[in-house]
Amino acid sequence: MNKPPSRTIIHAGHMLDVKSGRIIDNPTVVIDGDKITSVGQATAGNATLINLPNATLVPGLIDAHTHLTGEPNFGYQELGISTPMEALIGAKNARVTLEAGFTTVRNVGAGGFTDVALRDAIDQALVPGPRMLVSGPPLGITGGHCDNNLLPYEYHREADGVADGVEGVQHKVREVIKYGADLIKICATGGVLSKGDDPRASQYTLEEMKAIVADAHRLGRKVAAHAHGAQGILWASEAGVDSIEHGSYMDDAAISMMKSKGTYLVPTLYLTQWLQENMTRIGMPEMYAAKERAIIPIVRQNLKKAFDAGVKVAFGTDAAVYPHGLNAHEFAMYVQLGMSPVQAIQTATVNAADLLGWSDRIGSIDSGKYADIIAVNGDPTKDVTVLQSPVFVMKGGVVYKGAASHW
């Protein structure tokens, strides 16, 4: 049902070359199967023709921080969601995310390895969705942000990824890889949407994080570190993690360490605006709302400092904290903090592809790469908000939105 046609030719009004930032007029993209074979000239032969004369082609977008199997369900209502239901929720959100123009995601945290199942179902064409790199359960300390702290002691319940001590974290890294993880997600500090912890407090020790990174990298997996507090950011970067997620309380020392190590920052900024506007309406528990209110005034100024310092940035949203499909609202936040529209788009294309280790297959419209292409009305280099409403979405040569989609 979603097998790509043998050859497809796309004619469009414009195309964004994300590497140079130039808009190219009247491009032609030739696709054989699921790969792009040429850009700029058509070749003879039978082909499916797609004409988008008023649109601008952009590479399929990449979100490096999603939770497709989650929803904005906060507090004790989370306990009512079973593992099978989480997987089904993921199938719904995968389609919503793909139709929003995000053809690749890095899923950083899911219960019961539901993201592994979702990734495999998408790869087997059982459900539509983006390409996925998945972490399975995130690693965290006992009682920390990635533990299950909502139930009282007599239930003796802890989250799947809980591990303490060097030997404990080494075992957990190997276990989640055994069950299908493409990367390792750790909680280096406390968080906002968790009971009883402080986002500013570091959780894993430097030695524990060094052990995690050593095993993960030796086994060919990258490491993403949830980190709000400055010390946790510093230690995680020193330990060699590949990305810092959120970064809310980062200071000059943490920024300097990230730059020296080449660590990516994945900002997840739009969620602060969405929650500020909606936390009362959705009934966010006060134990979470108080922490969110404390972060909102400082996160933008700290991340702007990181942007201005030249820290590498990859696009990420934390979709599931707010409704899936709104991912592209993140671009405007980066522009507000001083990025040009092209730089903002690069965070979700060439930069994110580099973070994922997939620069050879996604992130730009180039010969040899997957035919992951979206189209928007207007010029995204002048107005990034046009990316919120793609009129055409193709992944791997299959059209999922617009132009007589094949799904």
Distance from C-alpha of 340 to C-alpha of 307, rounded to nearest angstrom: 11
Q: Dihedral, CA atoms, 140, 145, 151, 156, nearest 10 degrees?
A: 20
Instruction: Specify the residue for token string 């617009």.
Output: 402
Give me the catalytic one of 318, 372, 395, 401. 318
Q: To which H or E segment does residue 28 belong? A: strand 28-32
SS3 content of the chain, % helix, strand, coil (to 5): 35, 25, 40
Instruction: Specify the residue for token string 């030249």.
Output: 310
Whether 382 sits among the annotated catalytic residues: the reply is no
The torsion region of residue 128 among left (phi > 0), alpha (psi -120 to 50) and beta comes to: beta
Nearest 5°: phi and psi at 35?
-120, 150
Q: Dihedral, CA atoms, 205, 206, 212, 215, nearest 10 degrees?
A: -140
Give me the catalytic one of 172, 185, 291, 395. 185
Nearest to 144 by CA among 177, 110, 182, 193: 193
Q: Are 271 and 320 in contact (CB under 8 A)?
A: no
Distance from C-alpha of 278 to C-alpha of 241, rounded to nearest angstrom: 33
Q: Are 407 and 47 in contact (CB under 8 A)?
A: no
The DSSP code sequence of 118-149 is HHHHHHTTSS---EEEE--SPBB-TTSTTS--
Q: Are 101 and 61 in contact (CB under 8 A)?
A: yes
Whether 318 sits among the annotated catalytic residues: the reply is yes
Sign of the four-CA dihedral 381, 385, 390, 396: positive
Q: Are 161 and 145 in contact (CB under 8 A)?
A: no
Q: Are 111 and 157 in contact (CB under 8 A)?
A: no
The amino acid at residue 90 is G
Nearest to 364 by CA among 377, 355, 373: 373
Catalytic machinery residues:
185, 318
